[in-house]
Structure 1
Amino acid sequence: MLIFTNITWLDLCLASAGVYLIKQAFSKKNPAPYPPGPLGWPLVGNVADMPHTKAWLTFAQWGKKYGDISHVEVLGRHIIVLNSVKAAIELLDKKSSVYSDRPVLTMGGELVGWKYALGLLSYGDRFRYYRKNIHRLIGNRAAMDIYEPIEEIETRQLLKRIFAKPEQLQAHIRHTAGAIILRISYGYEVKENHDPFIDVADRAMNQLSRSTDTGAFMVDIMPWLAKAPEWFPGAGFKCLAREWRQTLEEMFSDHELNISQAAGVAPVSFTSNLLQGRTLSAEEDHMVKWSALSLYSGGADTTVSTIYSIFLAMTLFPDVQKKAQVEIDAVVGTDRLPSFADRNSLPYIEALVKEALRWNVVAPTGIIHCASENDIHDGYYIPKGSLIIFDMLEFHARFMLNDPQTYANPSQFNPERFLDNDGKDPEREPRTICFGFGRRICPGLHLADASIWLSTVMSLAVFDISKIVENGVEHTPEVDSSSGTISHPKPFKCSIKPRSAKAVALIQENVNY
């Protein structure tokens, strides 16, 4: 045992470099150069260049320096970063047969156990089975009609929670997002306070985001570290993985309970539709469980980030809030709450939701794609197995949803950029970018879009949102985001008050659907 006590990261890198050199000695010459990127070190490549937190900030700098496509190599693993919409569409959309695979994520997929979730699945039969089921049941706005009452019931509950305890805004949004997705997934109605399933699911979602964060764990670059014992230098991640796996197993056991409820007398749901009149094999049963769990994991956390960011934007940009409320009052009036039936009559609210999706990108680097075969693109060589990362965020960089050549004054929250103004064409539709590309585009995008729209329009109909004043001092929230695959605005304080006595009555009324 003592022979390992002086092992350092340098030793680990040199060991990996030895394997890399052996592979290089027998490899053929590349048919074209790699895309440009930072110059790496001999043997270990770009180990020192890889970011461990907020990876998108580093990728943004690479985009400014090297262009639309940049390349690094870490101990023989090639990483391609796409920093423009054009590059993302050309590879991930137009060449989707090559770039729709997923790499094996050792930390989040293998060690924690999320490898059967849709977002981490390799492209193949199981992936197509999940997608087919999700698309059939929630794959377009027409299919979502059956779930609209669920969304309206739970969003009304959100208004009541915010009214009662506005200081717990983020917790209320998270509770409501979980409640909606659980009712749609299983027909499960959550408890009003501290629902045990919501609590464990929140922990699991946070851990999923952290375990799949780009660059956060060296084991994703050097998979052989997974076989090292926990006391081995550099293997402390294994303790985290064990803890996070226990959370996932707890969550999965709850999902199995909800599966059995959905198969019985539960209301119509995603799972009850899959089980209706069918006897499943063990493999099909496993896929149904993970299909439902994938629907939950894909929707429970992402909408939380966007809705929370809308409250942040309304705090910082009061003129936008006033314009939205003027439209709501003119179209809907003040005697009822808005509903999905009003959506086509509220163009400014529609533009506001688009702007929220652009302004605060939920998944700033998306989920990593993987090249399933060798490719030459734009004169550059992209070898099979390369990790493909597409960058979406950084307020001062020229790319994706904050590219000033595409979006005027991108740091400003300006819904009017998506409206016809004085003969100017609207700016690029963000939903063609923020939900992903190609065969990996988010299958639950219509559900997410509907939840965000309804929460936004109902909240603005009844609440005034503003900067908080404490001890006579007005506080301006900071615009900053957390690390992780799912990025959330940092917690902030704001004032949320009913707009009128009528608004209070609308918040408190009970409506039967």
Structure 2
Amino acid sequence: MLTITDVAWLDLLCLTGVGLYYLVKQVVIKKNPAPYPPGPRGWPLIGNVLDMPRIKPWLTFTEWGQKYGDITHIEVLGRHIIVLNSVKTALEMMDSKSTLYSDRPVLPMAGELAGFKDCVAFLPYGDRFRRQRKNLHRVIGSRTAVDVYNEIEEVETRRFLKRLLANPDQLQEHVRHTTGAIILRLSHGYEVKENNDPFIDLAERVVANASQATAPGAFMVDILPFLAKVPAWFPGAGFKHLAREWRETLEEMVSAPHKFVKDQMVAGTAPVSLTSNLLQGSDVSAEEDHAVKWSAFNLYAGGSDTTVSAIYSLFLAMTLFPDVQKKAQAEIDAVVGPDRLPTFADRDSLPYAEALVKEVLRWNVVVPTGFPHCVSEDDIHDGYYIPKGSLVMPNIWFMLNNPRTYANPEQFNPERFLAKNGKEPEMEPRTMCFGFGRRICPGLHLADASIWISTVMTLAVFDISKVVENGVEITPEVEPLQGTVSHPKLFKCSIKPRSATAHGLVEQDANY
């Protein structure tokens, strides 16, 4: 990984040329029509390159917001970066002015070098982007559309319960397997193997690579794009070898399941899926085939890693907050009873469980700094100049931890989302946790359904608690990890059937 520290010598080699460009730009550039938003003062030539955080950037962005206000501006080697620290401002800019704020920046490491440029999250706003979004909308664009797949969700979650019963120590692996199984059924009609499934293993590597490649400040090439032209043999260019490995893994993940569906269609055995639906009918052009292939991949890329993080966070929360777990279980017991597992048909009757899912999304933020938008034209917002080409980064972590929005945000309290004693619920976290405007996560309804059914089925049959080792109770650490998609730090917990009846329900439904 090529970082600012690792390539200090390369910076010195390049800064002369960058400095000359910067100085010329300052001389010839037209006068700004309004001031930039406030922000930390930069250095000559390099701007705020030393201020750009690489470890938990959401905390630094929060400090900037407290010091400079809801909109903060920095400039890194001529590139303007706008950080938003309020929901109101994010909605005003990225929703209300979505025609200006829906583009994507070119990310040299992830998009160009590692090959993710054809993924919908990286596409510039235009025809190709709209085509892929339309393809996804047909399958998962509304809760009604997602309801078609409720049975798949329920069957795969029952299998998840069986895996937990057999091997509770492999929690994260089970969550990943189940999430991948659901999405691959929808995207390619592929039913995964119980162990060592090749597509699951491949997909996990791809989403992990994507999270690393897009982490803010992780690679110098994203700050100095001309480094992409450095030969792979050049000292300090190890990032190019890493990118090549990531590209090869990505190409296999995009192409192999697609070929699987096409082969099944020829044989007349292809189950219904996003891919088979879009390829059905008249001859498909190479361009259309390419769009279908990437649309199906986007279903996995957009929904798998984020859903894994949220469900894993649920287990962490239940380990740390047993009183919340007991309340959710009492509601499930009262509504569902002991003789069956909850289903989506019970959702409207389980308001505390619904609030619990919302609090999980708020408490351990899955995508703390969102994914940067890019401004397609100059704009003046709230009296500040936002130049064309600026990166706009919403600090979603702070939005979900703002004490003005959420009382005692450090507390895990699902009841904040329930109307009580004349008090209105606090702000719906899904307003911001899935992104903004025309770049909102296309898989939000699928992710929401997966998190909900995992929550209620798990709590119906299992007690989750702290592990006791050598007579000492182990309290997990709440520590979000680096990456565009942030996961809780690995932790241990005890997962045991609530009763003999619950044990029987898991076994009974294992082969559903």
Same fold (TM over 0.5): yes
**Residues of 2 paired with 1:179 and 1:14: CA distance?**
52
SS at match of 1:87: helix
CA distance in 1, matches of 2:474, 2:23: 56
Counting matched residue pairs gives 504
Contact 1:481 1:488 in 2 (8 A): yes
Q: Distance in 1 between matches of 2:133 and 2:8?
A: 49
After TM superposition, give the deviation of residue 268 of structure 1 in Å. 1.5
| One-letter code aligned to 1:320 | V
Q: Which of 366, 369, 374 does residue 370 from structure 1 map onto?
A: 374
Q: Check 1:187–1:373 CA distance in 2 against 1; reply closer, same or farther (3 A cut).
A: same
Which of 311, 326, 335 aligns to 1:307? It is: 311
1:221 matched residue in structure 2: 223
Match for residue 499 of structure 1?
498
Cα–Cα, structure 1 residues 294 and 262, in superposed 2: closer, same or farther, change >3 Å?
Answer: farther
Q: Deviations over 1:3-50 (max 9, x none)?
A: xx9953223233222222222221111111111111110011011111
Residue 424 of structure 2 is aligned to residue 425 of structure 1:
yes
Q: Is the 8 A contact 2:162 2:510 kept in 1?
A: no
RMSD of aligned alpha carbons: 1.5
**Match of 1:201?**
203
SS at match of 1:388: strand
What is the alpha-carbon distance in structure 1 between the residues aligned to residue 494 and residue 209 of structure 2? Answer: 30
- Do the aligned partners of 1:116 and 1:290 also contact (CA within 8 Å) in 2? yes
Mapping of 1:222-371 within 5 angstroms? 222-261=224-263, 263=265, 264-371=268-375
Per-residue CA deviations over 1:101-159 (Å, capped at 9, x if unaligned) read 00011100000000010111100001111111211221111112221111111100100
**Structure 1 residue identity aligned to 2:406:** Y
Greater Cα shift, 226-235 or 37-46: 226-235
Match of 1:151 in 2: 153
Structure 2 counterpart of 1:190: 192
Q: For 2:184 and 2:447, locate their aligned partners in 1 and report how far apart those are by CA, in whole Å.
A: 13
Contact 2:159 2:510 in 1 (8 A): no
In structure 1, C-alpha distance between the alignment counterparts of 2:344 and 2:263, rounded to whole Å:
29
Amino acid in structure 2 at the alignment position of 1:439 = R
CA deviation map 1:168-222 (0-9, x unaligned): 1001000000000000111100000010111111011100010011111121121
* 2:464 match: secondary structure: strand
Corresponding position of 1:396: none
- The answer to whether the aligner puts 1:20 opposite 2:19 as a matched pair is no
Q: Where does structure 1 lack aligned partners over 5 or more consecutive residues? A: 394-398
Given that 1:262 and 1:271 are in contact with CA atoms closer than 8 Å, whether structure 2 keeps it comes out as no
Find the aligned partners of 1:507 and 1:14 in 2 and give their Cα distance. 66
Match of 2:86 among 84, 87, 91: 84
Letter in 1 for 2:211: S
Letter in 1 for 2:29: S
Say if 1:64 and 1:6 are closer, same or farther in 2 by CA, change over 3 A.
Answer: closer
Is the 8 Å Cα contact of residues 14 and 43 (structure 1) preserved in structure 2? Answer: no
Q: Do structure 1's residue 29 and structure 2's residue 46 form an aligned pair?
A: no
Give the Cα separation in 1 of the matches to 2:12 and 2:338.
66
Deviation at 1:279, TM superposition (A): 1.8
The alignment's TM-score, normalised by the length of structure 2, stands at: 0.96
CA shift for structure 1 position 234: 4.3
Answer yes or no: is the 8 Å Cα contact 1:187–1:266 preserved in 2: yes
TM-score, normalised relative to structure 1: 0.96
**3-state secondary structure, aligned to 1:350:** helix
Q: CA deviation at 1:504?
A: 0.6
Which deviates the most, 253-262 or 237-246? 253-262
How much does 1:288 deviate? 0.3
Secondary structure of the structure 1 residue equivalent to 2:400: helix
- The CA distance in 1 between the partners of 2:53 and 2:255, in whole Å, is 35
* Residue 389 of structure 1 pairs with residue 393 of structure 2: yes
2:116 is matched with which residue? 114
Structure 2 partner of 1:405:
404
Aligned identity (percent) is 70
AA of the residue aligned to 1:448: A
Residue segments in structure 2 that go unaligned for 5+ positions in a row: 1-6
Q: Distance in 2 between matches of 1:423 and 1:205?
A: 44
Alpha-carbon distance change, 55 to 127 in structure 1, aligned in 2, over 3 angstroms: same
Distance 1:492 1:35 in 2: 41
Distance 2:12 2:63 in 1: 27
Deviations 1:243-302 (A, max 9, x none): 111211221232322331563422221112212223211100000000000111111111
Matched residues in 2 for 1:112 and 1:6: separation? 23
CA contact (8 A) 1:363 1:487 kept: yes
> What is the distance in 1 between the residues matched to 2:380 and 2:206?
39
Matched letter for residue 381 of structure 2: H
Letter of the aligned partner of 2:159 in structure 1? Q
Which amino acid is 1:306 matched to? Answer: A
Instruction: Tell me the amino acid that sits aligned with residue 224 of structure 1.
Output: F
Q: Which residue of 1 aligns with 2:458?
A: 459
Q: Distance in 1 between matches of 2:453 and 2:369?
A: 27
Report SS of the residue matched to 2:496: strand
- The separation in 1 between residues aligned to 2:93 and 2:8, in whole angstroms, is 44
In the alignment, is the contact (CA less than 8 A) between 1:187 and 1:262 conserved in 2? no
Q: Residues 467 and 494 of structure 2 are in contact (CA less than 8 Å); yes or no, is this contact kept in structure 1?
A: yes
Residue 3 of structure 2: aligned partner? none
Distance 2:390 2:190 in 1: 41
Amino acid at match of 1:52: R
8 Å contact from structure 1 (residues 7, 233) kept in 2: no
Query: Which of 167, 170, 173 is equivalent to 1:168?
Result: 170
- What secondary structure does 1:497 align onto? strand
Could you say if the C-alpha distance between residues 278 and 340 of structure 1 is closer, same or farther in structure 2, counting changes exceeding 3 Å? farther
Aligned mates of 1:203, 1:419 — CA distance in 2? 39
**CA apart distance, 1:511:** 6.9
1:458/1:261 Cα in 2 relative to 1: closer, same or farther (>3 Å)? farther
Can you list the C-alpha shifts for 1:423-477, whole angstroms capped at 9, x where unaligned? Answer: 1100000011101111111111110000000000000000000011000000110
